[in-house]
Amino acid sequence: MLPFASIYGIIIWIRNKLFDWNILPSENFKIPTISVGNLSTGGTGKTPVIEYLIRLLFANYKISTLSRGYGRKSKGFIKAAIDSNYYQIGDEPLQIKQKFPKITVAVDEKRSHGIKLLSNLDKDLDVVLLDDAFQHRYVTPGLSILLTDFHNLYTNDYIVPTGTLREFRKSAKRADIIIVTKTYSVLSPLTRRRITKLIKPKPHQTLLFSYIKYNTLQFVPGINYDNKPTKRKFNTILMFTGIANNYPLQEHLKNFCSELIVMDFYDHHKYTQKDTEKIIKTYSEIFSRNKAIITTEKDSMRLYKTELIKNFVDLPLYFIPIEIKFHDNDKSKFDKIVLNYVKKNKRIH
């Protein structure tokens, strides 16, 4: 795969240079824009960071999120409604709209076009959060946040198809903040120093460390199962996911069962009738009464408001919400950078 990776890498390098030399246009916007992205093909935890930013800014600012809407069947600019579904806007925007119904959620393949429409449609809009936009260089964000998985740092990775990087490691220099995600809940100073030496942040960059907090199980919307989700242990858990990296969830669920059965689907997998039949058949063959089906919140959005949810209506199908937590003083550092940037660049209405 190395020759193919080299060809791909050269093409991406040329593309980036065209933006660096201003041959390809990259727009700056007067409205504050915060980009959250990664160098890899996925699985670094962008959505929890977007949700963290919403919680941080919501009380004092009018917010919109903008993403491509990966997996949707629609095209162009769409402003999400509370009754939107996965096929219209994609799983991640749907998840955000369901959790934060009062904010504006929009999708557009052309981010610059989307920002202009959002800005014109709502003159009171204060900030746009760009999901998975690190490679979308037609927009120059005011604040760029780059995520890297603790267990798969971009410094140890390679260009696809040899590795999972979308562009060369040196592209990380465009970021203002680098967050190492999915660390263990306890992070030693030695580990922090070791990773800092590997990443070697530039003078203009702030390096932070975070981990995943798992919250209480919740029923996937549309389920009528009698027993309410609890923190009690199950004999067997059937876990199915269509995300890039499900190993943290596997490790977490092992604490709540004697046996964990894992069914993997590819990232952003569009579930079918055949898939649901396979999941239910596997569940029915588990010889235990104390059993459950658990998936991620993002996966549940690909079942929510579709005909497929009817197949699970009387089964114990749960999802487990997650959120990002920072280590030590990293939370205050992150909050200060973000709040100062938005306050300084806020539009005068």
Q: Higher confidence at residue 225 or residue 158?
A: 158
Q: Higher confidence at residue 338 or residue 313?
A: 338
Report whether pLDDT(202) > 90: yes
Mean pLDDT of 299-303: 93
| Residues 126, 199 within the same domain | yes
Tell me which amino acid residue 226 is: D
Percent composition of the chain: helix, strand, coil (DSSP 3-state, to 5) = 35, 25, 40
| Residues 187, 286 within the same domain | no
| Residues 301, 336 within the same domain | no
Report whether pLDDT(226) > 80: no
Question: Is the peptide bond between 161 and the residue preceding it cis, with omega within 30 degrees of 0?
Answer: yes
| Closest CA relative to residue 36, chosen from 150, 132, 106 | 132
Report whether pLDDT(230) > 70: no
| Residues 233, 207 within the same domain | no
Residue 267's Cβ-count burial label (10 Å; 0-12, 13-18, 19+) is middle
| Residues 78, 125 within the same domain | yes
Altogether, the residues listed in the chain come to a count of 349
Report whether pLDDT(228) > 70: no
Instruction: Quickly tell me which residue has 């746009």 as its tokens.
Output: 128
Report whether pLDDT(327) > 90: yes
d(CA 70, CA 109): 9
| Residues 182, 38 within the same domain | yes
Strand partners, 81: none
pLDDT for res 113: 96
| Residues 12, 92 within the same domain | yes
User: pLDDT band at 199, cuts 50/70/90?
Assistant: very high
| Closest CA relative to residue 310, chosen from 188, 199, 224 | 224
Q: What percent of the chain has pLDDT over 90?
A: 84
Report whether pLDDT(10) > 80: yes
List the Cα angle 222/224/234 in 5-degree steps.
Answer: 110
Residue 332's Cβ-count burial label (10 Å; 0-12, 13-18, 19+) is exposed
pTM of the model: 0.94
| Residues 277, 340 within the same domain | no
Q: Count how many domains the chain has.
A: 2
Q: Write the CATH number for 204.
A: 3.40.50.300
Question: Which structural domain, as residue segments, surrounds residue 133?
Answer: 2-213+325-345
User: pLDDT band at 52, cuts 50/70/90?
Assistant: very high
Report whether pLDDT(227) > 80: no
Mean pLDDT of 272-280: 96
Query: Which H helix or E strand runs over 291?
Result: strand 291-296
Query: Which H helix or E strand runs over 79?
Result: strand 78-79
pLDDT digits (tens, 9 = 90+) for 106-132: 999 999 999 999 999 999 999 999 999
Mean pLDDT of the chain: 93
Is 57 in contact with 342 (CB distance < 8 Å)? Answer: yes
d(CA 136, CA 133): 5
Q: Write the CATH number for 272.
A: 3.40.50
pLDDT digits (tens, 9 = 90+) for 57-98: 999 999 999 999 988 999 999 999 999 999 999 999 999 999
| Residues 244, 159 within the same domain | no
pLDDT digits (tens, 9 = 90+) for 98-107: 999 999 999 9
pLDDT for res 61: 96
Report whether pLDDT(5) > 90: no
